[in-house]
Structure 1
Amino acid sequence: MNRQDKSLQALIAILRTSGALENMVRKDVSCYNLNLTEFSVLELLYHKGSQTIQTIKNKILIASSSTTYVIDQLVKKGYVKRELCQADKRVTYAEITEEGKKLMSDIFPKHASRIENNFENLTEEELVQLKNLLRKVTQEKKEIE
């Protein structure tokens, strides 16, 4: 088997694994009446504190209009509130509410444990190696000419 075939097989394995993990996460967060994007925003705010809408968009990798919609939904659920920046009224921050913190403090440890269970067949060293190898794959490459 040549390098190109091995690369294609590696890609297929990564995509299948990614799909399986994403399905597990979707199923897990849906138990709490959240979708994956809502959970991602809550998780970011829970662990990193108040963030601008632009920062959330960049970190969660979703479109601006989708970011606004997701934050709207989290505001309706009482998990997030908006705050205008006093220094620059064009900037809006999203902040997790006490209700959002309570939810995340309840569900995040369970969620993290479910994720850990998906990697139980790997040693801690293999987990670090996997992370580093995946990062190496996604490093910037020369554009294909």
Structure 2
Amino acid sequence: MDSALTFPTALRELLRTHQTFLSYAASHVHTLDLTLPQFDIIITLGNTAGINFKILGEKTLITKGTLTGVISRLEDKGLVQRVASETDGRSQIVQLTEAGKDLYQRTFPEHLAFIYRIFNDYSPEDIATLEATLLRLRKAVIAARSNESEQLVEETDQ
């Protein structure tokens, strides 16, 4: 079969799987009265002394504008706090409060167990194959983005 004919089906399945996974994960997170981005911040900050906004955005893939709102809502819930950076006066560090640390310690293992249920019927070999396939796809996307950027530079230089 021509790969051009099967590609849209695979792409559609990838998108459906992504949406279904997020919906599944959100069903547990919503029981904590949090959104997925809020919980992402909580688990990213867990077991750290705090992280600055730039790195927090990179680790969570939440854009800067959205990140500010998510952090504000978590502050309103008493789960995070902003403190001035000791090394850069222009920068703020986001830290879990005691309530945030407690929430992380209570819920992160529970959330992992909830997510791991998806893989109950997967063998270790299945998981290794899935991971390798997803990594290969991500590298292909990164390479395509890099090639696209290089082409744009070449077109601008002409």
What TM-score results when the alignment is normalised by the length of structure 2? 0.84
Answer with 1 or 2: which has the greater Rg. Answer: 2
User: What does 1:111-130 correspond to in 2, within 5 Å?
Assistant: 111-130=111-130
1:143 partnered with 2:131:
no
RMSD between aligned alpha carbons? 1.7
What residue ranges of structure 1 are gaps of 5+ in the alignment?
Answer: none
Name the counterpart of 2:88: 88
Counterparts of 2:111 and 2:104, CA distance in 1: 10
User: What does 1:50-69 correspond to in 2, within 5 Å?
Assistant: 50-69=50-69
% identical aligned pairs = 26
Counting helix residues as a fraction of each chain, which structure ranks higher?
A: 2
Name the counterpart of 2:155: none
SS of aligned partner of 1:122: coil
Counterparts of 2:70 and 2:133, CA distance in 1: 32
Counterparts of 1:41 and 1:51, CA distance in 2: 10
Counterparts of 1:65 and 1:80, CA distance in 2: 17
1:110 partnered with 2:110:
yes
| Count of equivalent residues | 145
What residue ranges of structure 2 are gaps of 5+ in the alignment?
Answer: 152-158
SS of aligned partner of 1:125: helix
Name the counterpart of 2:34: 34
SS of aligned partner of 2:133: helix
Deviation at 1:48, TM superposition (A): 4.4
Q: Which runs of 4+ in 1 moved over 6 A?
A: none
